[in-house]
Structure 1
Amino acid sequence: MLPLWVWLQCRINSDAWHLGSENIRVGRDLRRSSSPTCCSKQDQSPIFTRPRRKSKSRVAADRFIGLTVEQKNELAQRELDETKEEIQQTKGDSERIIQNYQAVIEEAAIRWADIKKATCNFNKDIIQTISKKKGSVIASEKVLRYLEEKNHYRDAMKEKLRLKNDSLKVQKKKLQLQLKQKAEMGEALHEVDFQQLKIENAQFLEKIDERNQDLLQLKLTVGNTLQILNSYKVSQASGTCILFLLISCRLQNATTASARLMKDISQRKEALEKMERETILVEEERAKAESVTMQLRQQLSDYRVPPVVKYVNQKMAVYDLENNIKIWERKVEIAEVQSFKAGPGY
């Protein structure tokens, strides 16, 4: 027994082959119908191979052999008219057949595109998965799910087409009812007395004239009202101009004051920044002074008064040194005087 996916693939291929053959056959029939003179008698469509019926004028011509020229002309004219009618009928039938074939070709093309799309999707979603996982339960479930989805899609499409068909039927009934009502109204209008309609028309024309007079009077009133309104608008516009000038002056003054205030604010900001910088410097100097003060206080706290004897000895030593300095200064002065007296050669 063949696997399910192989059977589905064969079924899709057979449907595609039948659709292709049907498309080729329809195209061949369309070509035959479009060029009947170029085909043989065996290949022609039945609409072109049916025997031409014998006209009544030709039968009459066979019965009555001795005919005048006028009668022959009349018979020829009838034959020509019948031939034209047959040509028109044949042309209409041919066009109808061509349209049917074109519709069949379009339907076949749409079906062929759908089959190709379904085949591609089936190969992509099912065949590749089954070829990778042969004999797996998941692949079989996937195939069944695919078929169920297709069935659901067809059911949904069927329901959609049914609803559309119902709506078209309802619309058709409405249109038929409207046509029937229009036909009944037309018949009723034919039964109306036209003299009465003329009288009513004259009355309506009189009413229209009265309404036109009223409309003219209303137009005059509207014109006067517009003139008064324009005068009010002019006065209001002058008042608006004065108000605008006042507002402009106030705005200019406010702008000047704002500029002045902005300048003052900028100057105050600069002064504030300068004061902040000076404050920072003063804080630094204060910190330095505090550190020096702390050092001095530390030294003051560490200071010890020397003994009195040591102080006396120090004072005596200082006194002796001062005396020695004076003695040496005196000796230097004496030496300078002697050297000056001795002269430069000394």
Structure 2
Amino acid sequence: MSRHSHGPRSSTSPHSRSESHLMNYSEEITDAELIKQVNDIKQQIRILSLENEIFERVIMRLEPTLMHGIQQALDYATKLQSSSPLSIGSFVKSQTSRYGFDSVITSPSRMFTSPSRVSTRRVDSSAKVSGTVIFGTGPRINVLERSELVSAEMEILIANLEKARKKAAKQHAFLKAQLEEIGVRETDIEKASEMFKQEVIVEGWDKIAQRIPAEIWIRFMTEWVKISDSHIGKFRLRTSTLNSQYSKLKGQIKVKAELSESLRAVDFDKLKIENSECLKTIDYKLQQLGELKKMTGDANLNLTVHKKAMMQQNGYLSNILQSIKEKQKQTAELDKEKDVIKVQAESLSQRLDDVRKVRLAYEVPDIMDYVNVKSEVADLKHSVKLLENRVHIQEIALASLNKKLKSIISNEM
């Protein structure tokens, strides 16, 4: 395949090429040059192998019948490597004419032309006569056509890889679900086994009869069946819910697929216009929202200022009410003291009257009695004076308190 695909690069005859090879080998070359030539030949072989693979894929995809007999021709050519190039060329030419490769040579646009342009090249009859398939001057495939072939094969490979990836993802998800199901089953089996060992084997063992009673076994199985039935009911309900959701989603996907098939370019233009109008409406609403935020901020600021002033007024009012309560308490106490002092003053005045009566009725008493009476009278006068002074002071304080109270009440009014 490599000789077939890249043979048209050289237009020289097989004899001239063999003579040039002999002249090159006859010359003396260094080891470094020999290694370089070997590496270059390996690189060319690698590139030719890749190109041959691409061409083989293209031929198998477009016209598989053309590949019949190619492998036999390549095997025979490998056996004839030690033979002359002329015999190999004539053999391959006979094989290609035998299996229908002349049609490929005469019409290269059938396979090797790009899909975007149709090649109208034709090969001359002289090229078919003078050149062979391997070393002849057959149809040439330029770099653009090669790149288009490689691009097409790469797209096909990418599509196949994407399909394989999706299939592997589905398989992976299916296997993961199976593993999760197996894990759940294993957990349930372990729990059931532990429950059976604990309730039947350990707790149900009758030490006297040295056996497990059948009633315990039957009761355990009955309870286990009830628990299993409840779990089955829950799983059935969940499965039915999931099935309904799946059918719903499947219907939505079908409707979307039908809508996507019925959509036209006008629908997208209409949707674009509606989206632009919606964006304009959103911008307008955002502007209104910004203005409302500003108004809300101003209102919150005013509210904070008034709230602070109200708190100050409430504090001042609470202080005034507290002072009024204290003054009222003091007024009540002063009223009580006034009543007490009034009672004392009345008693003292009564006593004074009695003393005066006694004095008027007294006639020339003894000197000592007179001195004693005088001292007592002086003491009584002193006490009366003190009481009067105290009463006067209390009256003055009461008048001042009443005045202050009237001023506070007038200010509040």
Larger radius of gyration between Structure 1 and Structure 2: 1
On whether the aligned pair clears a TM of 0.5, the verdict is no
TM-score range, shorter chain: 0.3 to 0.5
More helix, by proportion: 1
TM-score for both structures, normalised by structure 1: 0.38
Greater relative contact order (CA < 8 Å, ≥ 6 in sequence):
1
TM-score for both structures, normalised by structure 2: 0.33
